[in-house]
Structure 1
Amino acid sequence: MPDSCIALTNLSGQVYVRRVPVPLPPGGTGTPVLVTSRSFSSGDLDLRAELEAAGCAVRSGPPDHDLAQLAPLLADTVCWVAGTGPVTAAHLDAAPHLRLVARYGVGVDAVDLAAAAGRDVLVTNTPGANTEAVADLALALTLAALRDVVPGDRGVRAGTPKVTRGRELGSLTVGVVGFGRIGRGVARRLSGFGSRVLAYDPYVAPGSVPEVELLDLPDLVAQCDVLTLHAPGEEVLVDEALLGRFRPGAVLVNTARAALVDEPAVAAALREGRLARYAADVLAADGPDAPLLADDLVALTTFTAHAGAHTVGAVDGMGRGAVDAVLDVLAGRTPAHLVSPKGSS
């Protein structure tokens, strides 16, 4: 099997080289490529056909990455187009021929990057592919919460229409938590409404984004009528202490990660009137005992089913990036958007 030298850059900016075996189609049956994303090749681009035309044998696996179901598929997989499920050391151990995990999306929190690096498995993602889609949904949820769109629809259908007094987005101060691609996309949209936009992002240097004022999170919250979350990671940001700093009647929007929010604390704040509305595309708890799905909070909450990246454009963009990474690795080229563990060298 021939080798290819891949130049990698870690998160500290260091460049290093790894020699990666280039897989060849075994016995003419096609290079095994596993796909575990629900929406892969469901847009306008027939990306599955493109992989097959390139000599790949494309197989589908469970999107939750259940190891018992995936293990037989991983046994000979060379490239894996992975969805949002976990990619653990155990998954990688079950895939001795694996050369690439092409993450279908941006976040790589669920991928054990150190384990991948230790096994000479490349990891890529598709930054920017779903930026506009998620920013659109964040704005849609904000407007729905401010104007009680969903309760209004329910009332009309039930024959009990009720008009509530909403607020105009252009008259409000909106805080954007996480000022990366999506956060900046939201800020651009808000500028069209005339909203005052503030931002919090510990990784963005003050003064580097003149279009918004950067503040510490507690100061930001104290000045905002709407707070929209676009931060990475799994650390709780909106807890009981921070909720205590919200303006009366504030609206909280979360299209990022459920873990950023203490859901029982948010439910309590809604019941007590300290928070006016909560709108989200993510939920940590979704069963009958989920704190935010309680019957008494129906009129105060709006949810979508993790649909932020589900537009034709985003699906095509994420799929295009993942397929390009697969084809690059199979051809011995360096794929774009390599992700490596922090501190690797």
Structure 2
Amino acid sequence: MTSLYVSDPTHPHVLAQLHELGEVHLGYGPSATEYAAVQERVEAVMLRAERFTPDKIAASSRLKIIARHGVGTDNVDIPAATRAGVWVTVTPGSNARSVAEHVFALTLALARRIPAAAAGTANGQWGTIKPHLTGFELHGRTLGLFGFGRIASLTAEIARGFGMPVLVTDPYVDAELTRQHGAELVPFDELIAQSDVLSLHAPLTATTKGIIDADAIARMRPGSVLINTARGALVDEAAVLLALESGQLGGAALDVLEGESTDMNDPLPHSTEIAARNGHLDNLIVTPHIAGQTTQSLLAAGTQALHCIRQALAGESPQHAVNNPAATA
């Protein structure tokens, strides 16, 4: 019987179809199965947060595919998978709308001081906290997008509805493309200097790691807002905290943390300063990497990943593969 492993929750409809393919082991929930307990017989993995290291891949002698439930592959050692003859696939575009909407959920929460307002009301401070909760409107404020892929282009589309001018920095796109989306392509220095809300949408590379550091933050508009739904290590978390405390940053909302490079399932112990201040700074919001997690996106991503699994189990080259183990066979 075909054996499959699902690391994190997926849409129930997708899970039902996985059960039709064979024996399904769930890496989550009250009866979770450790991958090590089934690694010798698993042929396909539907993966979200769990890390797949060279040792784990090498121990999976029957494994044919690791189907990422998303677009990032930070938690998979792709060279090791390729050497082992294991396909690695992604689900492009499946959660783009979800992430773009979360950018604005976070932006509005900061702009209108919603966490502080809700907490104060819950503590019976309706009258005393109200004078301290004056927010700002997004209309007329400039949105800066660092990176301009599918998610960022949808974010720009939403921004137009709020009446926000949009600036973009991305070395891989041209001015005509950004103009088609109602945005203006500018150098990075201009982006950070002119943005009232700066939203990060770039992949993590040697060039982008820590790009929002103390120097970059010092060149941002005083009181501006930082949103990160991309990769935690794009941001120097200690510098962000200092800027929030000084008022240089008016707010920051992080859906991803640098600690995810160590443990995607629980990065908080590895991002200790952010973890300690979350809930204590009313201009800081940290959410647990949920930007791409909606009912619709789970169905879309799960359906794409399921299709790739079916192809690999049938001996075919799956769609949206990021490697080519067949070429090294």
TM-score range, shorter chain: 0.7 to 0.9
Q: Does 1:49 align with 2:23?
A: no
Contact 1:62 1:70 in 2 (8 A): no
Is the 8 Å Cα contact of residues 278 and 284 (structure 2) preserved in structure 1? no
Structure 2 counterpart of 1:294: 277
3-state DSSP class of the match of 1:290? helix
1:226-265 maps to which residues of 2 (within 5 A)?
Answer: 226-233=197-204, 235-265=209-239
Offset, 1:88: 1.6
Structure 1 Cα separation of the partners of residues 316 and 274 of structure 2:
49
Which residue of the partner structure matches residue 180 of structure 1?
Answer: 149
Asked if the contact 2:70/2:92 (under 8 Å) is kept, the reply is yes
Aligned partners of 2:190 and 2:313: how far apart in 1?
50
1:100 maps to amino acid: I
The corresponding residue for 1:273 is 247
Change in 2 beyond 3 A, CA 1:62/1:53: closer
2:10 aligned residue: 40
Distance 1:76 1:292 in 2: 38
Tell me, in whole angstroms, the C-alpha distance in 2 between the residues paired with 1:312 and 1:197. Answer: 29
**CA distance in 2: counterparts of 1:224 and 1:158, whole angstroms:** 35
Q: Percent sequence identity over matched residues?
A: 35
Per the alignment, do residues 297 and 199 of structure 1 end up closer, same or farther by CA in structure 2, a change over 3 Å counting?
Answer: farther
SS in 1 for 2:282: helix
**CA displacement, residues 252-300 of structure 1 (integer Å, 9 cap, x when unaligned):** 1111221111111011111111111111212336359424642795211
**Whole-Å Cα distance in 2 between the matches of residues 190 and 292 of structure 1?**
30
Tell me, in whole angstroms, the C-alpha distance in 1 between the residues paired with 2:288 and 2:137: 26
- Is the contact made by 1:292 and 1:301 (CA closer than 8 Å) also made in structure 2? no
1:119 maps to 2:84:
yes
Name the CA shift for 1:333/1:301 in 2 (closer, same or farther; >3 Å). Answer: same
- Secondary structure of 2:139's aligned partner: helix
Tell me the CA shift for residue 194 of structure 1. Answer: 0.9
Moved more, 126-135 or 327-336: 327-336
Shifted more, 191-200 versus 212-221: the winner is 212-221
Q: How does 1:15-26 map to 2 (within 5 A)?
A: none
Output one character per residue of 1:304-332: Cα deviation in whole Å (capped at 9) or x when no partner: 22211221001111111111111112223
Task: Rate the CA distance shift 1:225–1:303 in 2: closer, same or farther, 3 A.
Answer: same
Q: Which 10-residue stretch deviates more, 76-85 or 242-251?
A: 76-85
What SS does the corresponding residue of 2:23 show, helix, strand or coil? strand
Q: In structure 2, how many angstroms separate the alpha carbons of the residues matched to 1:250 and 1:278?
A: 9
CA distance in structure 2 between the aligned counterparts of 1:204 and 1:96, rounded to whole angstroms: 41
In 2, Cα distance between equivalents of 1:52 and 1:267: 46
Cα RMSD over matched residues?
A: 2.3
Q: List per-residue Cα deviations over 1:158-189 (Å, max 9, x = no partner).
A: 22232422211111001011111111111110
Structure having the larger proportion of residues in strand: 1
Q: Which runs of 5+ in 2 are unaligned?
A: 260-267
Pairing of 1:60-79 with structure 2 (within 5 A): 60-61=26-27, 69-79=34-44
Say if 1:303 and 1:296 are closer, same or farther in 2 by CA, change over 3 A: closer
Show the 5 A alignment for 1:287-326.
287=269, 289-291=272-274, 293-294=276-277, 297-326=280-309
When Rg is computed on C-alpha atoms for both structures, the one with the higher figure is: 1
Task: Compute the TM-score of the two structures, normalised by the length of structure 2.
Answer: 0.87
In the alignment, structure 1 residue 145 sits paired with structure 2 residue 110:
yes
Distance 2:272 2:312 in 1: 46
Contact 1:263 1:292 in 2 (8 A): no
C-alpha displacement of 1:62: 5.5
Query: Given that residues 61 and 73 in structure 1 are in contact (C-alpha distance below 8 angstroms), is that contact kept between their aligned partners in structure 2?
Result: no
3-state SS of 2:177 partner:
coil
Contact 2:64/2:313 (8 A) holds in 1 = no
| Post-superposition offset of 1:156 | 1.6
Q: Tell me the TM-score normalized by structure 1.
A: 0.83
> What amino acid sits opposite 1:168 in the alignment?
E
Higher helix share: 2
Q: Deviations over 1:33-82 (max 9, x none)?
A: 11112x2234xx2x22212323x21112369xxxx942231111111111
